[in-house]
Structure formats: structure tokens, C-alpha cells
Amino acid sequence: MTRVTPDDVRRKRFGTPPLGHDAYHPAQVDAFTARVADALAGLDHLTSADIRLAEFDAPPPGLPGYDSQQVDEFLDQLCIDLEHLRRGRCPVPAGRDADPLTHDDVLRIHFSAPPHGLPGYAAEEVGRFLDRLAATLAHNGPNGLTAEDVRATTFHRAAAGTPAYHREEVDAFLDLVAGQLARMHTADSA
């Protein structure tokens, strides 16, 4: 799997939806994907959280729109590419040949602040978790985190005025980590 380039994003075209399915306003989608292309090129600051929260109107009456499912799937892939770009790694397919998350990756991870007006996880708590995860990946010892530990991890809502991280980004990262730790445990047991 290769990372999508800014030119790929600019050239992307979407079909019209089947009769009775949702459609998005083409001009709004085109303007947003142009911003995403600029973000991939380092010319705009757009996070994966911004992409996940993007909303588009229905097309004007009588005009065809873009198939919402095609647009949503493309934007999901762009979220993954932006996260990998931010972490300095190329995306790889999940599975046996996937590069596992490393201690160094964990030390470089940065989550976005929550969108304006929405609560986020307490950054201090997330930071403590990342420290423990980094130690687990560095030593892979019996006292490290397990997939079950990660799935059971919860963070408190950040108090007003304190550093906070976007909850969806952190939750997606926890899912990734739990999957990797489960695969590591299975490999160690074999």
C-alpha cells in the first residue's frame, strides 16, 4: 500500500450515488479535498480529526452530487495517511508483514487538541499511558501492558483550561495498540 500524494488527492473524482442514496455537494467536497492535498504537502494545517469531523451539505436541487460512501471511504484513507505522515512512517497493510509500533514511534506520537467546544482526554493521563506503553515495547517483559489492559484503559475528561487530546484520535490509537499487543502475545505463545 502506498501513501496517497497531494496530486492523487487533487485528481480524485467521485461517482454519483445510486438512486435513493446520500450525496454530497461536489463544490464543498472539492474545496475540502484541496485543503487535504495542501495539508499532505505541508501547506495547510489539517489533522485527521478535522477530516473525520468534516460535514458536507446535500447537492443543490437538480444537480448531481458525489456518492457519500465513496467520499467517506476516501477520507478515511486520508486520515490514515495523515497520521502516518505525522509519525514519519509509511502506511503498510495490517497483517503479518506490518511494521509493529516501536518504542521510538510512541515517543514521537502527538495527538491533536480536541475540536473547539468538545471535551478531550486529560493529556497528563494519556502521557502516563504512553510512557508505560513505550516501556512495554522497549522491554517486552512480563510486567508490561497486555491487549486486555489497553482495552480496559480509560482516561478522564480534561478539566477546562488544561491540556487535552482529541478523544477519537486517542481511541483509534488504543485500538491499534491492543491489536498489536494481541498479535505479539499470540506470537510469543506459539
* pTM for the model: 0.51
Same domain (yes/no): 130, 183: yes
Number of other residues whose CB lies within 10 A of the CB of residue 56: 20
Q: Are 35 and 14 a contacting pair, CB within 8 Å?
A: no
1 within a domain of the structure (yes/no): no
Predicted pLDDT of residue 76: 79
Rg for the chain (alpha carbons), in Å?
Answer: 19
| Residues of the domain holding 111 | 103-189
pLDDT confidence band for 93 (50 / 70 / 90): very low
92 within a domain of the structure (yes/no): no
67 within a domain of the structure (yes/no): yes
94 within a domain of the structure (yes/no): no
Q: Residue 141: pLDDT above 70?
A: no
Q: What torsion, rounded to 10 degrees, do the Cα atoms 115, 94, 12, 40 define?
A: 50
Q: Residue 46: pLDDT above 90?
A: no
Same domain (yes/no): 183, 131: yes
Q: Decide which of 26, 55, 87 is a domain's last residue.
A: 87
pLDDT confidence band for 97 (50 / 70 / 90): very low
Which tens digits make up the pLDDT trace of 67-92? 999 998 888 778 777 766 665 544 33
47 within a domain of the structure (yes/no): yes
For the residues 44-65, what does the mean pLDDT come to?
86
Same domain (yes/no): 42, 115: no
For the residues 101-112, what does the mean pLDDT come to?
79
Count of domains for the chain? 2
Same domain (yes/no): 132, 72: no
Same domain (yes/no): 41, 12: yes
Pairwise CA distance, residues 75 & 69, whole Å: 10
Q: Are 3 and 84 a contacting pair, CB within 8 Å?
A: yes
93 within a domain of the structure (yes/no): no
Between the two ends of the chain, the Cα-to-Cα distance in Å is: 28
